Amino acid sequence: MAKAAARKPAANPQQQAIQDALAHVEKAFGKGALMRLGDKPRTTIKGISTGVLSVDLALGGAGVPRGRIVEIYGP
């Protein structure tokens, strides 16, 4: 009963479904598995330089983010 009281009431069934899905993912993968835009302050992520200054700047200034999955494609 306390769990039901702690949950915020949703405005409509779609919002309730989203809240249920978010709760399910957090339960399965732990807190912090999903983040909403603007929920937490921006964190600084170290990067690995590509060796090309223009590419590093296009990627945010530090190159390829360390510890992240990166896909590179092109001609």
Contact present, 43 and 50 (Cβ < 8 Å): no
HEC string of 7-63 equals CCCCCCHHHHHHHHHHHHHHHHHCCCCCCCCCCCCCCCCCEECCCCHHHHHHCCCCC
Residue 8: pLDDT over 90: no
Domain ranges of the chain: 1-38, 44-75
| pLDDT tens-digit map of 10-56 | 579 999 999 999 999 999 988 878 877 877 667 788 899 999 999 88
Cβ–Cβ under 8 Å, residues 53 and 37 = no
